[in-house]
Structure 1
């Protein structure tokens, strides 16, 4: 079976490749910003799009329900885009994903609220959120496959690390924009009109990202498959389910690890500690920024480490370090003076989840790579992403270390699934040649 990489020098990393990785990462950052900026504005969105007579807690619950709808739409959107990505090309779908995210984001910024159109307002917001979810479901798997198929054999880790860093930078950008809005505008001005600015900005940035991606070339692997008539049949996902079931399960276990780390250590830790321990909101916000910045840098370093030391070694290292960092984060919550440094350490540890995209792009052969990655990643993320927040929020009331226990358990389960699979592959294929089988 054809390798995920066309023949070229193993250490070849040209300026053109770095440009490709950079543009892909920048587009990923802008698109992920569009997806997450919603969560930074839940309070004001609840007041704009829902009846004024219902309690604030219910408004926020309903807005979070709309946010969750984006997760539920991810598997459908991901599989549809992956289907065409495997049959017609990665680049075309890569561009469509950005457009599908930019348009509804911009429309949210223009949308009338409940005071103008009544219950049609939250319904339209739901439609836009579903479109955003469908877009991100195709963007992330497609981006990982795209950069991996452009990378030389010895740089797959760095390629995935740069792309993942771009995605996490989208979280950082969303947080910075939200902070700027709150500093520049009064609460009254935000409620009246300024809440629209992050969405309008996101729509514009998304369109810029699409224009940048027009300059990218189709992947060498897809070009070779098309030339040699090795493309998948009419239903690539069917071939994935029939022939690569173990790869799907291992990839889902890895994706669950990514979900646990990002959701618990990056997204949930600040509000959980603020509510359960009573930490100062400004101090927690600064710590959250430190965590996300460290995460972004660490993704790149982790990708380079995978190339240098091998995937199996970094998987072992990641499980240990992520577990230790989770316990450090929640054990030190009562020490406000250490909050930002501890959050930065946890963010740096979280960057080791770069092992996940490397595992995913190595799990499936090129003809069905997009469909395989999209199926495993999006189904796992939809299930775990929906269940993790309420579960962890409940458990922390039983024990302040409960979130760390959860992360440790997922690390153990994922390790048990990933390591035997890696061992089986090592016996049959060279460690650095991804995608030769679905074991």
Structure 2
């Protein structure tokens, strides 16, 4: 990992200009671990979606229970753009550290709702309302976290290693997937089904809430990479500048994000619920699929970052996208022909490998196009809007398409459709490999 920071980073954060390798590694670790802990709180919902459907939507059929539970998962993404605007602007005005601390505690508040929320049997329709409230708070927090943390990662980098530094954002999300699946597997193997329904499903949310103070402590000693900028008369707000001057980057970024996030949520998260709710495999089988996907993303994230630094963003994402488009229908067809745990794990691995290269490269590309003064706001809006529709509701849309078409290959069709639109945006974007920012 290099210690030479680019000129703009040195100007914004003089204390980081001559940082030693060990110190820089600690800063990257602090951002990565904190981000992973926050995403753990947000992501664990998906591993228990089938159980939550039974507890909070008991009057529906099993398939409709899953749909309603996944729709509630998607609700958390609806407010991501709002969280991105509010907290992203705060990060561009007051600094990245302050924003990231705020998002951690907002996430803890959202998780607390799941720890204490009564079920439908206890309070009726108020129960799913509380579920939605918890998801809204969590979604608002994550919407601001990504812009601030990814901006800080890139601002520690130079023109030749931004892909590598940005890859730690995806590493941290994979870390949350791996941790969530491990917690889920531990619970499903140690508790009976009745115990999981009675109280076991609350344990991951309690763990997530308890880990937030650890994330706050880890991030305490980060060096700020963006000085506080109090509002001045005649100076446009970060939001006004993004919407007024950078509309093209905004649109292209949203479309690129849509392609990356649809792939990510289908391969890393949806296979758990697809295996359980559609293919009728055990919950542990679905959790093992998430474990494999999370482990592969952690192993390959830095490789993908180095690849796009060496060979260029557009070349790497295009090759990975072609591999994905060629393989996704055959692997889904192979899985559905004779569903079992072994095939589910193979499919998780095959889908995750190109997805990692797509996701890491896309995060790098959408972060590079905004200048430092509005980077957190611009990235948060792009990520929030792209993920809120095409990622947050990917599981719901895929499941709904299965019901409408009667085809278990429908999730593959969804990814293909969004990916083709996303590739147009990639071709229209500027190649930023080796280009100094600002």
TM over 0.5: yes
Q: Cα distance, 1:401 vs. partner?
A: 4.5
C-alpha deviations, 1:317-342, integer Å up to 9, x for none? 22222323424432431365554334
Alignment of 1:39-78 (within 5 A): 39-49=46-56, 56-78=62-84
Q: Kindly indicate whether the alpha-carbon contact (under 8 Å) linking 2:46 and 2:269 is maintained by their aligned counterparts in 1.
A: no
C-alpha deviations, 1:173-197, integer Å up to 9, x for none? 1121111111111122222222221
C-alpha deviations, 1:265-305, integer Å up to 9, x for none? 22223443565556666545433422221122222210121
Select the residue among 239, 242, 255 that pairs with 2:241.
Answer: 239
Give the SS at the match of 2:332: helix
Q: Which residue of 2 aligns with 1:34?
A: 41
Q: Report the more deviating stretch, 406-415 or 196-205.
A: 406-415
How far apart, in 2, do the equivalents of 1:402 and 1:260 lie?
13
Q: Which residue of 2 aligns with 1:294?
A: 296
Alignment of 1:174-189 (within 5 A): 174-189=180-195
Q: Which residue of 1 aligns with 2:24?
A: 17
Q: Kindly indicate whether the alpha-carbon contact (under 8 Å) linking 1:157 and 1:307 is maintained by their aligned counterparts in 2.
A: yes
Alignment of 1:84-103 (within 5 A): 84-103=90-109
Whether 2:210 is the aligned partner of 1:208: answer no
Q: Kindly indicate whether the alpha-carbon contact (under 8 Å) linking 1:77 and 1:138 is maintained by their aligned counterparts in 2.
A: yes
How far apart, in 1, do the equivalents of 2:143 and 2:292 lie?
27
Give the SS at the match of 2:10: coil
Q: Kindly indicate whether the alpha-carbon contact (under 8 Å) linking 2:271 and 2:348 is maintained by their aligned counterparts in 1.
A: no
Q: Which residue of 1 aligns with 2:3?
A: none
Whether 2:422 is the aligned partner of 1:414: answer yes
Whether 2:354 is the aligned partner of 1:349: answer yes
How far apart, in 2, do the equivalents of 1:196 and 1:400 lie?
31
Q: Kindly indicate whether the alpha-carbon contact (under 8 Å) linking 2:39 and 2:176 is maintained by their aligned counterparts in 1.
A: yes
Alignment of 1:253-272 (within 5 A): 253-272=255-274
Q: Kindly indicate whether the alpha-carbon contact (under 8 Å) linking 2:254 and 2:385 is maintained by their aligned counterparts in 1.
A: yes
Q: Could you tell me the TM-score, scaled by structure 1's length?
A: 0.86
Distance change in 2, residues 1:88/1:188 (3 Å): same
How far apart, in 1, do the equivalents of 2:233 and 2:180 lie?
38
C-alpha deviations, 1:407-430, integer Å up to 9, x for none? 33433322222223225xx6xxxx
Alignment of 1:79-158 (within 5 A): 79-158=85-164
Distance change in 2, residues 1:230/1:313 (3 Å): farther
Alignment of 1:214-229 (within 5 A): 214-219=220-225, 222-223=226-227
Distance change in 2, residues 1:390/1:42 (3 Å): closer
C-alpha deviations, 1:305-361, integer Å up to 9, x for none? 122222232122222223234244324313655543342132122111101110111
C-alpha deviations, 1:353-378, integer Å up to 9, x for none? 10111011111111111111111111
Q: Report the more deviating stretch, 164-173 or 39-48.
A: 39-48
Q: Could you tell me the TM-score, scaled by structure 2's length?
A: 0.86
Alignment length (residue pairs): 424
Q: Kindly indicate whether the alpha-carbon contact (under 8 Å) linking 2:256 and 2:422 is maintained by their aligned counterparts in 1.
A: yes
Q: Which residue of 1 aligns with 2:381?
A: 375
How far apart, in 1, do the equivalents of 2:382 and 2:195 lie?
43
Q: Which residue of 2 aligns with 1:403?
A: 411
Give the SS at the match of 2:223: coil
How far apart, in 2, do the equivalents of 1:78 and 1:434 lie?
25
Q: Kindly indicate whether the alpha-carbon contact (under 8 Å) linking 1:108 and 1:199 is maintained by their aligned counterparts in 2.
A: yes
Q: Cα distance, 1:209 vs. partner?
A: 0.7
How far apart, in 1, do the equivalents of 2:7 and 2:391 lie?
32
Distance change in 2, residues 1:152/1:275 (3 Å): same
C-alpha deviations, 1:145-164, integer Å up to 9, x for none? 11111223322111111221
Q: Cα distance, 1:107 vs. partner?
A: 3.7
Distance change in 2, residues 1:288/1:54 (3 Å): closer
RMSD: 3.2
Q: Cα distance, 1:103 vs. partner?
A: 2.2
Question: Structure 1 stretches of 5 or more lacking a match?
Answer: none
Select the residue among 6, 9, 18 that pairs with 1:5.
Answer: 9
Q: Report the more deviating stretch, 400-409 or 353-362.
A: 400-409
Q: Report the more deviating stretch, 393-402 or 354-363.
A: 393-402
Q: Report the more deviating stretch, 350-359 or 325-334.
A: 325-334
How far apart, in 1, do the equivalents of 2:122 and 2:284 lie?
34
Q: Kindly indicate whether the alpha-carbon contact (under 8 Å) linking 2:75 and 2:392 is maintained by their aligned counterparts in 1.
A: no
How far apart, in 2, do the equivalents of 1:105 and 1:308 lie?
40
